Amino acid sequence: MKATIKIIGFDADDTLWVNEPNYRAIERQFFEILKPWFSEKEATNELFKTEMQNLEMYGFGAKGFMLSMIETAIRISDNKITSVEISRIIEIGKNLLNEPITLLDNVEMVLQRLQPNYKLILATKGDLLDQERKLVKSGLAKYFHHIEIMSDKKENNYRKLINRLDIQPQDFVMVGNSVKSDILPVINIGAKAIHIPYEITWLHEQHHEETDSSKFVTVNNLSEILQIL
Amino acid sequence: MKATIKIIGFDADDTLWVNEPNYRAIERQFFEILKPWFSEKEATNELFKTEMQNLEMYGFGAKGFMLSMIETAIRISDNKITSVEISRIIEIGKNLLNEPITLLDNVEMVLQRLQPNYKLILATKGDLLDQERKLVKSGLAKYFHHIEIMSDKKENNYRKLINRLDIQPQDFVMVGNSVKSDILPVINIGAKAIHIPYEITWLHEQHHEETDSSKFVTVNNLSEILQIL
């Protein structure tokens, strides 16, 4: 793979640092608030339903998640939730935005080793401000040329990304934890991809179809990509 | 100016299409909901205060605006606002996201004339998904090479933008309606700027210091930039 690669795109959340477990922790606090009306299982389903209904309108990220929590709470409590409880939902959402960054294993060492030989970019579909803040807090900003914010991670979004970077698909490799978002659309447009599974995957990112794993590499730890790149 | 310019950056909201008046219309509906507790003037001040407090956390865009409306309503009603009314705030916020696009005068003609000679980009600090959607709805997507989403429009953000575009500051001209965001930071880093005032400016974007207007051009209508570029 080494020979042709010019730019390495890194997914951020759950590839470089912990993210999904933070959302899960906030969800548990949210379910506590909803306890009088719904069981955790029902609340999980209802929240996911609201998120999916709003996804096209809100996109990905913490603010849309906060709005969907509020909407779900009002709906499933049948308007019985009070503004005090809604304030509490806003508060836990703000905590999510202010969460400290926990780097995954070996991240800094790997970036340090790759940076002299490649242009490294962060390619993420979160909210720009939020991802910039996380990058600064992570201390990793110095390794990245810039952040590419994508409204989604479908084939067309990657095509635009590669066009914007003024390279050919074969010059690009994407590294990430989501088969659906970081791997399949990338190999489908002729670029390369390295999959690093993470312990938790958001339901929306879960991939259930059979994938031809001969077309991409899977590693268990980020440090293993140094043997490939 | 013509000779050196390679890339033209266009601000989007209130430069290419109507935006601020849409926010004002939503605010009026919001104030209607708050009428039992506060006068419009007080509610305006309180909403602006909340927006400024949350700006660093939420950034710019409709979702942060929605969350700030909800927070303001709860605070100034002293927790008396009900979840039915909060639902209504979410609803008017969603209407804002789904607002049709109204192009400003001569926009399409100007882009059509400039596109063969320059790389045109949209440089905006809104939400990527929201701006992409507006661009598609506007029918202007074919004129733009891509959208550059900036977390803010300060000197450092423009420096990063120009670095990412692989050009020199003097190769870049920014066109926009906000002296504070589209003009001053751009000329301060050695790039060029053309100011097109718009009828309404959001309080946060209003610029009160004296500006040396010999350093940038002001035009009254977008079509006048064709005489400069």
Confidence tier at B210 by pLDDT (50, 70, 90): low
Q: Which helix (H) or strand (E) holds B112?
A: helix B107-114
Of B63, B81, B160, Cβ closest to residue A63: B63
Average pLDDT of the residues in A20-34: 94
Surface of A (167-226) touching B: CB under 8 A: none
State which residue of chain B sits closest to A57, comparing Cα positions.
Answer: B97
CATH class of B20-98: mainly alpha
Going edge to edge, which strands form the sheet with B217-218? B146-149, B119-124, B7-10, B172-176, B192-195, B217-218
State which residue of chain B sits closest to A77, comparing Cα positions.
Answer: B83
User: Which residues of chain B form CATH 1.10.150.240?
Assistant: 20-98
pLDDT the model gives residue B208:
66
Would you tell me how many other CB atoms lie within 10 Å of the CB of residue B31? 17
Within 8 A of A153 by CB-CB distance, chain B residues are none
Confidence tier at A2 by pLDDT (50, 70, 90): low
Q: Name the minimum distance, in Å, from the CA of B48 to any CA of chain A.
A: 18
Contact B162, B169 (CB under 8 A): yes
Of A64, A83, A93, Cβ closest to residue B79: A83
pLDDT the model gives residue A37:
84
Question: Hey, are the CB atoms on B83 and A71 less than 8 Å from each other?
Answer: no
Domain A20-97: CATH superfamily is: Putative phosphatase; domain 2 (1.10.150.240)
State which residue of chain A sits closest to B68, comparing Cα positions.
Answer: A90
Q: Name the minimum distance, in Å, from the CA of B57 to any CA of chain A.
A: 7
In the DSSP assignment, the letter for residue B101 is P
Confidence tier at A30 by pLDDT (50, 70, 90): very high
Average pLDDT of the residues in A2-19: 92
- CATH architecture type of domain B7-18+101-227: 3-Layer(aba) Sandwich (3.40)
User: Which residues of chain B form CATH 3.40.50.1000?
Assistant: 7-18+101-227
Taking only the tens place, the pLDDT of each residue in B68-88 is: 999 999 999 999 999 999 999
pLDDT the model gives residue B2:
64
Question: Hey, are the CB atoms on B160 and A150 less than 8 Å from each other?
Answer: no
Query: What is the token pair recorded at A25?
Result: 């922790």
Q: Is the pLDDT of residue A194 over 70?
A: yes
Q: Is the pLDDT of residue A220 over 70?
A: yes
- pTM, to two decimals: 0.89
Surface of B (30-89) touching A: CB under 8 A: 57-59, 63-64, 66-67, 70-71, 73-74, 77, 79-84, 86-87
Contact B76, A56 (CB under 8 A): no
Taking only the tens place, the pLDDT of each residue in B102-121 is: 999 999 999 999 999 999 99
User: Which residues of chain A form CATH 1.10.150.240?
Assistant: 20-97
Cβ neighbours for B142, distance < 8 A, ≥ 6 positions apart: none
Of B81, B90, B132, Cβ closest to residue A67: B90
Of A70, A84, A164, Cβ closest to residue B90: A70
Q: Is the pLDDT of residue B60 over 90?
A: no
Sign of CA dihedral A124, A126, A132, A136: negative
